[in-house]
């Protein structure tokens, strides 16, 4: 029997999600125990959620185990964005699943993949309405790439609306917390804005270059 056929037969056997002895599976497949253990290891390495140990038996669990993945910063950002949108659903089961998935992703990310700024840790988390500001992302991303100034209308701490001219530098995110870092030309200082508190973004016909004193924290 070809190995591919043998692996498929093992999956069919384990498809009842019951515990199976390795000796019985090896006999059914017509292979040695050593070959059976190698086949189980191959299936597990490919992401099949088989649990158990030699001597105790094996079973197929309903969970799906993904093999190690290499994600680019843009792919991580897209994944976090998708989670933020799903987390705004009114379906409690979807909310619970998305929250659990976000926690697993955050736990798996290396420290170097986290935002350089720690401002998000001081933000109410999760945001009351994380998806509210995500509609601004296309404009913000385009402005960052083009180094284009933005006029931003922002909800201030006192509940009023502030208008500022921003040199957008970087979008940061940690799970549902999205912030925009840049240089506030109006006040002449670095600033970090919560996306969910941005009311409006207006691209300006001016480009910017970082002045000598410009340095993001």
pLDDT tens, 158-168? 778 999 999 99
Q: What pLDDT, on a 0 to 100 scale, did the predictor assign at position 151?
A: 97
Strand bridging mode 57-60 / 177-184: unpaired
Give pTM, 2 decimals: 0.47
What confidence tens digit (pLDDT) does each residue in 92-126 have?
777 788 778 877 777 777 655 544 433 333 333 44
Q: Which two tokens stand for residue 23?
A: 């000796």
Q: CA distances (Å), 136 to each of 139, 163, 179, 201, in order?
A: 6, 16, 11, 7
**By the 8 A CB rule, do 198 and 136 touch?**
yes
CA neighbours closer than 13 Å in the CB half-sphere of residue 189? 4
Percent of the chain with pLDDT over 70: 76
Low-confidence ranges of the chain (pLDDT < 50): 114-128, 175, 212, 215-217
**By the 8 A CB rule, do 117 and 110 touch?**
no
**By the 8 A CB rule, do 210 and 166 touch?**
no
Tell me what the pLDDT averaged over the chain comes to: 78
Cis before 126 (ω within 30): yes
């Amino acid at each position: 029997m070809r190995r591919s056929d043998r692996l498929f037969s093992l999956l069919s056997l384990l498809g009842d999600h019951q515990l199976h002895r390795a000796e019985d599976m090896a006999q059914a497949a017509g292979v040695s125990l050593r070959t059976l253990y190698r086949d189980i290891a191959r299936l597990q390495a490919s992401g099949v959620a088989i649990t158990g140990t030699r001597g105790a038996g094996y079973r197929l669990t309903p969970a799906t185990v993904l093999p190690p993945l290499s994600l680019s910063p843009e792919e991580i950002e897209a994944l976090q964005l998708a989670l933020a949108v799903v987390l705004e659903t009114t379906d409690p089961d979807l909310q619970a699943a998305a929250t659990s998935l976000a926690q697993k992703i955050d736990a798996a990310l290396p420290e170097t993949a986290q935002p350089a700024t720690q401002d998000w840790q001081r933000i109410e988390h999760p945001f009351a309405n994380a998806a509210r500001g995500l509609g601004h992302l296309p404009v913000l991303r385009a402005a960052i790439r083009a180094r284009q100034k933005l006029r931003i209308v922002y909800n201030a701490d006192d509940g009023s609306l502030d208008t500022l001219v921003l040199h957008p530098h970087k979008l940061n995110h940690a799970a549902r917390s999205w912030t925009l870092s840049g240089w506030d030309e109006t006040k002449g200082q670095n600033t970090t804005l919560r996306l969910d508190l941005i009311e409006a973004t207006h691209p300006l016909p001016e480009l910017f270059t970082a002045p000598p004193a410009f340095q993001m924290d």
